[in-house]
Structure 1
């Protein structure tokens, strides 16, 4: 079953984010807290949204954490999928596809023109899964990121 996340899901979502970080060989870089997830999803100004996949026992076994983006070329919003993760023991049960289908429906229902996400290059099973859905890599684009000291240095140039 796929449903919108509710406040009672926050701890499960946070735990799955840490599982994802472990899977992506970056556990040491993950520092998010339940309070941060709760504020992002359910605070006074939610900036992020989530859907969860549950098993027959109503236990959260998958997450899709996303936010709206905007295309200046299309003049409309889209969805950027920040995290898609299904517990290893539940993979192959259709939860990942159901989460993506739910986000695709969210796009269609709201007139959004894009559903986008990133995947690490070494994650061949996920890449094969995405391509089986007829998703296409945007390999003509390179993602850049500023964090930590470089971010602070650039910010300090503004008076």
Structure 2
């Protein structure tokens, strides 16, 4: 069956949230999702959208999504695309949905003059790593992600 990729619409928010929760469970953080439908509605379709979503469909059923947003590189002087989440339901894995989502994202990057499409992947997620390598992704091993949250974020802000 053919995979179709389309831009998410406001009615997709419940499905997007379900996919986010399924991804969190897969990534061993089932209780970490704080997002709600109203939050996603505002973030994706409000006055100043923070991100965009592509939906993968097979036979008219949503089977995956990719959530992405723009970054900016001072070195290139141009925007890039950051893939925050890519998820395909277990029953649709191997169907080409993930590849179709990545291909669509690469096309968006090119159409928007973005020289980079970047993302992170958990180091234990070997199926995803193998998939990304097969698509031409290269690790950026010399970089480590840094994060400040909660009390440390408040302290850093002096509050």
TM-score tier by shorter-chain length is over 0.9
- Trace 1:28-107 onto structure 2 (pairs within 5 A): 28-56=31-59, 58-107=60-109
C-alpha distance in structure 2 between counterparts of 1:39 and 1:54, whole Å: 23
C-alpha distance in structure 2 between counterparts of 1:30 and 1:139, whole Å: 27
Secondary structure of the residue that 1:28 maps to in structure 2?
coil
C-alpha distance in structure 2 between counterparts of 1:135 and 1:75, whole Å: 22
> What stretches of structure 1 move > 4 A for 4+ residues in a row?
none
Shift of 1:68: 0.2
* The one of 116, 119, 125 aligned to 1:117: 119
Q: Does the CA contact (< 8 Å) of 1:69 and 1:78 recur in 2?
A: yes
Shift of 1:23: 0.2
TM-score, normalised to structure 1, is 0.96
C-alpha distance in structure 1 between counterparts of 2:91 and 2:64, whole Å: 11
C-alpha distance in structure 1 between counterparts of 2:41 and 2:104, whole Å: 22
Shift of 1:104: 0.2
Unmatched 5+ residue regions in structure 2?
A: none
Q: Does the CA contact (< 8 Å) of 1:2 and 1:53 recur in 2?
A: yes
- What root-mean-square deviation, in Å, do the aligned CA atoms of Structure 1 and Structure 2 show? 0.8
Shift of 1:31: 1.2
Number of residue pairs aligned between Structure 1 and Structure 2 = 156
